Amino acid sequence: MAQATLMKSSLRLVFDHGVDEKGKQIFKTKSYSNVKSAATPDQFSAAAAAIATLSSIPLASIERNDTSTIND
């Protein structure tokens, strides 16, 4: 049976930049790598909230991107 080994994680913050002239929502992202792979969702949320306070633009969502290797 194959197994996945978590190699690295990154934190991605999605900021709400309002709407364009056509009424389409604009989102911009900022990614942070070298995040501890063992970090819990609560820890990711706390880190994102702390970083978001440094921005005047509202935080729309928090994403976690994990990279794993698959071993047979």
Q: Give the three-state DSSP class for 71.
A: strand
pLDDT at 72 over 90: no
Tell me the pLDDT tens digit for each residue of 1-31.
899 999 999 999 999 999 999 999 999 999 9
| 43 backbone dihedrals φ, ψ, rounded to 5° | -70, -40
The domain spans of the chain are 11-66
CA distance 44 to 59: 14
Burial class (CB in 10 A: 0-12, 13-18, 19+), 48: buried
pTM for the model stands at 0.83
